[in-house]
Amino acid sequence: MKVIIMATMNISVPNPMKDGVQSQVNTGAYANTSDYVRDLIRQDQENRSKLKALQKPHVRWWSGEVKAMAFA
């Protein structure tokens, strides 16, 4: 079993953001604010990974490596 060591981070956010986070927790969708922030970070990491994958073919095309791409 993989053991995950948790780290503590302290962040400052404007009151409207704090209220928004608490609102999400109050819906029951998240156990606490840390759970919500972890979910946001996971989503951001997934989105960045997907974006990077989508950009790769465009980088090849713009760099002149058109013949390396498969055209169907």
For the stretch 21-57, pLDDT in tens is 999 999 999 999 999 999 999 999 999 999 888 777 6
Name which residue leads in pLDDT, 53 or 61: 53
User: What is the pTM for the complete model shown?
Assistant: 0.69
d(CA 29, CA 14): 22
Q: Over range 8-24, report the average pLDDT.
A: 97
Non-local (6+) Cβ contacts of 31 within 8 A are: 25
pLDDT surpassing 80 at residue 6: yes
d(CA 15, CA 27): 18
Tell me the Ramachandran region of residue 14: left when phi exceeds 0, alpha when psi lies from -120 to 50, beta otherwise. Answer: beta
d(CA 57, CA 52): 10
